[in-house]
Amino acid sequence: MKHIPTLFIDGKEIPFEYEDGSIEGVRNDRLNGFQRVFIMGHSVNGRYCRVSSVCLPVGMIELGGTCKMDGKEYKIRKYRPAREWK
């Protein structure tokens, strides 16, 4: 069963998506041990879009964990979704 990562910023669950890695700088971030993630939210117009980004350690994304940067606490928790019984 696949684990689904969940991002928490200061204890609040936040939707996010991974950067795809199509730019040279993004590939260099990955080689240096970081992964950029985009924080999803609503713009001033009310449109759902990317509102911010942050680079997190790759080990934290793969295994879960906590990281404190810029006065905020980022936590990634891996959990298994409920099984669907047929």
**Structural domains of the chain, count:** 1
Range of the domain at 33: 4-79
Inside any domain, residue 19: yes
Q: How many CB atoms lie within 10 A of CB 29?
A: 17
Tokens of 36: 């950029």
Average pLDDT taken over every residue of the chain: 80
* DSSP 8-state code for residue 84: P
70 inside domain: yes
Asked if residue 86 belongs to a domain, the reply is no
Residue 1: band (very low, low, confident or very high) from pLDDT cuts 50, 70, 90: very low
Neighbouring C-beta atoms of residue 30, cutoff 10 Å:
14
pLDDT digits (tens, 9 = 90+) for 41-73: 898 999 988 898 888 888 888 888 898 988 999
Confidence band, pLDDT 50/70/90 cuts, at residue 16: confident
Give φ, ψ of 55 to 5 degrees.
-95, 125
Q: Is there a domain that residue 85 lies in?
A: no
Q: Residue 39: inside a domain, yes or no?
A: yes
